[in-house]
Amino acid sequence: MITVAFVHVGSGSLLPHIMVAAARRSMPAARIVHLTDEHTDPVAGADEVVRRPYDGTYLMTYRLAHFAAMAPCNAVFLDTDVIVQRDLTPLFEWEFDVALTVRDRKVIDPEGADIAADMPYNTGVMLSKPSGWEFWREALRVCAQLPEDQRRWWGDQHAVKAAADVLPLCILDLPCALYNHSPDAEGDDVAGRFVVHYKGFRKPWMAQRGAREFGLP
């Protein structure tokens, strides 16, 4: 069985509900696990809710701590602003311990720097087999030592690169173009993508898809 796991804390967003509905449609046999704090309501459609305390500060460290604490399994780790369009289960027949989605184009930050150089992996879609669980413990260790601003945001992407660089594991690179694609415009043709990532300004597009495809306003 494949486990789909995601971290979501807080209330008011429909995106996690859309993400779970899409994952269920594409991978009906998957076990879907909502990783959260002690207060957040369960996301509709999740099979299990796992809670750990959260003080509201270092979200990136908290996310990796949830992953590292899970019992080793065949897992797909997702952000809540993604829509899985095709079954990811066959990927687990490939040889890897951890599979990460690699940025295939420049990502320019507000200062004009290309963040893909330092953070080549987008952590919105990641896969792990039980043999790769050391990876998540190492990524958590690295993230916990980063500056405070990175532990709040971006830190997980620095941490997974560091873990991939030092651990003797089989790391499979998956192209973001297929497995973690962010469209440039709302009307882009995304039919051939396995996963569409509606990060940043694209989130309203995902909400509109949720209304059309799942009746989730």
Q: Which residues, including other chains, have CB under 8 Å from residue 17's CB and lie 6 or more apart?
A: 43, 44, 45, 210, 216
Q: What percent of the chain has pLDDT over 90?
A: 82
- When pLDDT is averaged across residues 177-195 and rounded to a whole number, the result is 96
pLDDT in tens, 15-61: 999 999 999 999 999 999 999 999 999 999 999 999 999 999 999 99
pLDDT in the model for residue 146: 77
Report yes or no: 132 and 204 within 8 Å, Cβ to Cβ: no
Percent of the chain with pLDDT over 70: 93
Show contacts of 69-74: CB within 8 Å, 24+ apart.
Answer: 70/3, 70/5, 70/33, 70/35, 70/136, 72/130, 72/131, 72/133, 73/1, 73/3, 73/130, 74/1, 74/2, 74/3, 74/127, 74/128, 74/129, 74/130
pLDDT band at residue 109, thresholds of 50, 70 and 90? low
Answer whether residue 114 shows pLDDT above 90.
no
Using CB atoms within 10 Å of the CB of residue 77, give its burial: 0 to 12 exposed, 13 to 18 middle, 19+ buried.
buried
- pLDDT tens digits, 129-173: 999 999 999 999 999 887 777 777 777 898 999 999 999 999 999
**pLDDT for residue 85 is more than 80:** yes
Domain boundaries, given as residue ranges, for the chain = 3-214
- pTM of the model as a whole: 0.94
Q: What average pLDDT does the segment 120-128 reach?
A: 96
Architecture of domain 3-214: Alpha-Beta Complex (3.90)
